[in-house]
């Protein structure tokens, strides 16, 4: 919590971050806070008590004690207690509807956020609010500040966002009819409650002075060009995740997986992880276990249940594996099974990691692409089916494990085995890995001196200092 002196100290420009309370959203704006604070701009990161704690506890890829982060001030605001149901692995739609109460509670941050904005307004020439697009109603009071302005942060791909305006401004040439046929129908990726929530937040986009994207032209140039036709101002400044890994980060995980990776051949291991909001049935977990073992490929499997509304409260479901499986896999040296938070960026950056079986959340996609690692796609909900299309059909840096058209069916162990073998041990997989490595190199160049993302970030910093 920022002290009164810290919150009222006079500065030329102050930035206030308002993330949405889900891990993939919290994480991206925390990364952006780090980048902006490195420019000696004070950043105030605002969320609920639970979610601010969650964001700080899951920092990975960089050292949270580094000097640049001393200018990040965390604000932990209380919200009314909410009762969040447990994740349901048998839900017809995989969207984490059990988190809806925490989403609704986060909208009650409007009043404390407004108080903070008014206090900061008196101590700065300009107060800049960067908010998740799902938190528009929370920051609407910025419009009443004489020196305030807001920018909408989009934590999803521009491939997804631009698809909503293709009918108005034209479909990019990279998108053919076959890809268009695979765009998911409305209602298949989320619940009615979250669609209504999103629509209510979109009504407050009128307060935004521009859009910020966690992507770069090396990945999504055609779709950024589409959005430039409808956005007055936009900045593509990704990847926000660490590109050069801090060697002092996540030392506690070294014995679990990174040292094991040190003893594996280059590009020989596939990481299997489905993010923080995925909940698989026991039957699907068993099929996945058999498929991975039968592939005879090395793997690290992050096997954990979906986050609850409060990750620090109550028991967590332990995902069951076939009897003797875990001991057999680890004793044979084929793999490692992690049941807690894992250092995903560090694993992807390791020379021994050659593939990533993923739910295709945008964080995971960007981290994998940045590190030049191809994906085996298994989308679950929200933006993930579109991201999987981008990876496999547009960028051509991945293979399909679960076809979205078959989302209601069990993914059989044989299909999993074939997908893993194709990515990790085939001529086609070798070509995919080469494209992924080339794209990763281009993305890293984009954040270097003179790169597109670096220039756009510098332009944004200059803009808020104007």
The DSSP annotation for 323-365 comes to: TTHHHHHHHHTSEEEE-S---HHHHHHSTTEEEEEE---HHHH
**Residue 395 backbone dihedrals phi, psi, to 5 degrees:** -80, -25
**What's the alpha-carbon Rg for the chain, to the nearest Å?**
22
Task: Give 109's Cβ-side CA count (13 Å radius).
Answer: 33
25, 204, 350, 359: the catalytic one is 25
Q: How far apart are CA 374 and CA 270, in angstroms?
A: 10
Distances (CA, A) of 198 to 20, 203, 259: 11, 9, 43
31, 60, 75, 132: the catalytic one is 132
CB atoms within 10 A of CB 182: 15
Which of 268-294 are b and which e, b meaning 16 or more Cβ less than 10 Å from the residue's Cβ? Answer: bbbbbbbbbbbbbeeebbbbbbbbbbe
User: What stretch of H or E contains 439?
Assistant: helix 427-447
Q: How far apart are CA 106 and CA 44, in angstroms?
A: 17
Residue 352 near residue 267, CB atoms below 8 Å? yes
In degrees, to the nearest 5, what angle opens at C-alpha 212 toward C-alphas 225 and 94? 95
Residue 25 appears among annotated catalytic residues: yes
- Catalogue the active-site residues: 25, 132
């Amino acid at each position: 919590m920022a002290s009164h002196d810290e919150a009222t100290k006079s500065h030329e420009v102050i930035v206030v971050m308002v993330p949405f309370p889900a891990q993939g959203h919290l994480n991206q704006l925390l990364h952006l806070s780090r980048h902006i604070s490195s420019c000696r701009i004070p950043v105030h990161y605002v969320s609920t008590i639970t979610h601010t704690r969650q964001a700080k506890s899951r920092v990975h890829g960089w050292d949270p004690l580094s000097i640049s982060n001393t200018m990040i001030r965390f604000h932990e605001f209380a919200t009314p207690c909410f009762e969040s149901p447990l994740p349901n692995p048998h839900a017809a739609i995989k969207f984490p509807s059990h988190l809806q109460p925490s989403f609704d509670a986060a909208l009650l941050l409007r009043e404390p956020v407004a108080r903070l904005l008014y206090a900061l307004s008196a101590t700065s020439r300009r107060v800049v609010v960067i908010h998740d697009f799902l938190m528009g109603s929370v920051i609407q009071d910025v419009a009443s500040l004489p020196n305030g302005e807001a920018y909408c942060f989009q934590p999803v791909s521009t491939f997804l966002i631009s698809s909503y305006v293709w009918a108005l401004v034209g479909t990019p040439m990279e998108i053919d009819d076959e890809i268009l046929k695979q765009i998911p129908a409305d209602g298949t990726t989320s619940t009615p409650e979250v669609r209504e929530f999103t629509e209510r937040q979109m009504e407050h986009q009128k307060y935004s002075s521009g859009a910020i994207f966690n992507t770069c032209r090396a990945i999504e140039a055609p779709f950024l060009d589409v959005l430039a036709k409808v956005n007055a101002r936009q900045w593509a400044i990704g990847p926000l995740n660490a590109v050069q890994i801090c060697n002092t980060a996540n030392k506690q995980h070294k014995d679990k997986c990174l040292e094991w990776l040190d003893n594996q051949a280059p590009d020989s291991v596939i990481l299997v992880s489905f993010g923080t909001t995925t909940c698989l049935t026991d039957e699907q977990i068993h099929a996945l276990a058999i498929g991975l073992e039968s592939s005879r490929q090395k793997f690290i499997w992050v096997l954990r249940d979906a986050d609850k509304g409060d990750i620090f409260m109550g028991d967590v479901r332990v995902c069951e594996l076939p009897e003797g499986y875990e001991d057999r896999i680890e004793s044979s040296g084929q793999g490692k099974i992690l049941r807690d938070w894992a250092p995903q960026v560090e694993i992807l950056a390791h020379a021994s990691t050659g593939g990533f079986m993923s739910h295709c959340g945008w964080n995971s996609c960007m981290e994998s692409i940045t590190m030049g690692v191809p994906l085996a796609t298994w989308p679950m909900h929200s933006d993930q089916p579109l991201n999987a299309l981008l990876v496999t059909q547009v960028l051509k840096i991945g293979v399909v494990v679960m076809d979205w058209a078959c989302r209601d069916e069990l993914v059989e162990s044989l299909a999993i085995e074939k997908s893993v073998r194709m990515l990790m041990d085939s001529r086609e997989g070798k070509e995919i890995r080469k494209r992924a490595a080339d794209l990763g190199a281009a993305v890293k160049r984009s954040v270097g001196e003179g790169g597109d993302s670096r220039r756009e970030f510098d332009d944004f910093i200059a803009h808020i200092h104007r």
